[in-house]
Amino acid sequence: MRYRVISKESNSTGTRYDKNFKTECVQAFHSQRENYKSESAAIKVLAERFSVSAETLRRWIKMAESSYIYKRLTKKDYIARVVELETTLNEREATIREKDKQLEALRVVLSMYTKLPESQNLNSI
């Protein structure tokens, strides 16, 4: 991946990158963060990949996370995550309901077992 420079002036202290490149870097961080042991490790690797300093990438991430533009850009991602979590929750609730039914059936069997005369008790078999 190549970086896109807006301008590098002789009297400038650094390089200016366009917004699309910064957004690409930040999105790469958020999509790949879970693949690394720490946030710092992810930033270090991605900064090298994008040929920027780790501190620059860290600053872009912090600025993006606090900006309205970033939140607006990732609104679809947030909505998709909410839908995914709701689906997971519904599946787990269904599993719990099924387990509750199984538990109730076992309670019925147990109550019948405890009402049996001692001679028919399973312990005497």
pLDDT tens digit sequence for 61-89:
998 877 755 555 567 778 888 899 999 99
Phi, psi of 16 (to 5 degrees): -105, 135
Q: Which CATH number fits domain 5-73: 1.10.510.10, 3.50.30.60, 1.10.10.10, 3.40.50.1980?
A: 1.10.10.10
Residue pLDDT, tens place only, 17-29: 888 899 899 999 9
- pLDDT at residue 69 in the model: 53
Residues 39-61 have a mean pLDDT of: 94
Domain range annotation of the chain: 5-73, 76-116
87 compared with 12, residue with greater pLDDT: 87
Report the pLDDT value the prediction gives residue 16, as an integer from 0 to 100: 81
Burial class (CB in 10 A: 0-12, 13-18, 19+), 29: buried
pLDDT the model gives residue 111: 87
